[in-house]
A and B are shown apart, each in its own frame.
Chain A
Amino acid sequence: MDDLLRQIKAVERAGVEKPWADLLPVLKAASSAVLCSCTVDGQDPLDLLNPKDHSLAYLFILVARMKATNADGGVLLQAAMRFAEQFERDQVLLAPEQMTAYGEATARLADKIDRPISSVRPIQIACIRWSGSKGNHLTSLHRMVLKCCLLAKTYRAALPVLDRDITEIDPQSYDLKYQDFLLHYYYGGMIYVGLKRFERALQCFHLCLTAPGFVASAIQVEAHRKYILVSLILHGRSEPLPKYTNSAVFRACKQYGAAYLDFAHAYESLNFTRIETEFRKSEQQFEIHGNRGLVMQSMTALVRRNIQQLTQTYLTLSLSDIAKSVKLSGAAEAERIVLQMIEDGEVFATINQCSGGMVSFRDAPETYKAIETMRRLKGEVTQAIDLGERVIRMDRALGLSKDFLSKILHGERGQGANIGTADDDMFGDDSIGEYWAGNRGGA
Chain B
Amino acid sequence: MMDIDLPLDQNFNQPPRRPAEAWDEAADENNESKKKKTSTIIVDNPTLDLESYSANYVGHTRVERLIFIAEHSPPLAIDAYKIALNDLKNTMDYTRYTVVHQKLNDLLLGRGLPTIPLDQTWVDNTKKAQRAKTEKLERELKDYKSNLIKESIRMGHNDLGDHLYDSGDLSGALKSYSRTRDYCTTSKHIVDMCINVARLSMELNNFAHVQSYVVKAETTPDIPEKNIVTSKLNCIMGLVNLEAGKFKRAARNFLDTSFELNTHFSEVLSPNDVAIYGGLCALATFDRSELKSRVFDNADFKQFLELEPQVRELLSNFYHSKYSLCLDILEKMKNDLYLDIWLHGHVDMIYQSIRKKALVQYFYPFLSVDLNLMAQAFSTTVPELEQELATLITSKEIQARIDSHNKILRIKSADQRTNIFEKSLAMGSDYQTQVKHMLLRMKLVRADMIVRPPERDRHDSS
Name A's B-contacting residues (CB within 8 A): 165-171, 176-178, 181-182, 203, 206-207, 210-217, 220, 244, 246, 268-271, 309, 312-318, 321, 325, 355, 358, 360-361, 363-364, 366-368, 373, 376-377, 380-381, 383-384, 387-388, 390-391, 394, 426-428, 431-432, 435-436, 439-440, 443
Contacts and interface: CB of A to CB of B under 8 A. Distances in A.
Given A313-B394, A387-B439, 4 more contacts: A213-B450, A380-B429, A428-B439, A439-B445
A141 B406 CA distance: 62
A330 B126 CA distance: 72
B453 A214 contact: yes
Interface string B385-410: 00000100110000001111110001
Nearest to B428: A380
A213 B403 CA distance: 54
Interface residues of B, number: 49
Contact of B439 (A325, A394, A440): A394
B410 A206 contact: no
Contacts of A220: 451
A268 B6 CA distance: 13
Contact of A212 (B431, B441, B461): B441
What 5 A-B pairs come out closest when comparing CB atoms? Answer: A213-B451, A428-B438, A316-B405, A368-B421, A315-B403
B437 interface: yes
A167 B439 contact: yes
B451 A246 contact: yes
Given A169-B440, A314-B401, A317-B404, A271 B10 contact: yes
Given A316-B405, A355-B405, A211 B453 contact: no
Nearest to B436: A165
A364 B422 CA distance: 11
A426 B434 contact: yes
B447 interface: yes
Interface of B: 6, 9-10, 13-14, 390, 393-394, 401-406, 410, 415, 417-418, 421-422, 424-425, 428-429, 431-453, 461-462
Chain A at the B interface: mostly helix, strand, loop or mixed?
mixed
Contacts of A368: 417-418, 421-422
A417 B361 CA distance: 53
Contacts of B14: 268
Contact of A182 (B394, B431, B451): B451
Contacts of A325: 390
Given A176-B449, A181-B444, A246-B451, A427 B434 contact: yes
Nearest to B401: A315
B76 to A, nearest CB: 40
Contacts, number: 167
Contacts of A268: 13-14
B410 to A, nearest CB: 6
A367 B415 contact: yes
Contacts of B451: 178, 182, 211-217, 220, 246
Nearest to A313: B393
A367 B403 CA distance: 23
A93 B442 CA distance: 24
Given A313-B390, A315-B402, A213 B452 contact: yes
A132 to B, nearest CB: 15
A44 B124 CA distance: 116
Nearest to A322: B404
A341 to B, nearest CB: 18
A184 B394 CA distance: 40
Contact of B10 (A176, A270, A376): A270
Contacts of B432: 380, 383-384, 387
Contacts of A246: 451
Nearest to A388: B435
Contacts of A388: 435
A169 B6 contact: no
Contact of B425 (A207, A380, A427): A380
A428 B437 CA distance: 9
B440 A203 contact: no
A269 B449 contact: no
B428 A384 contact: yes
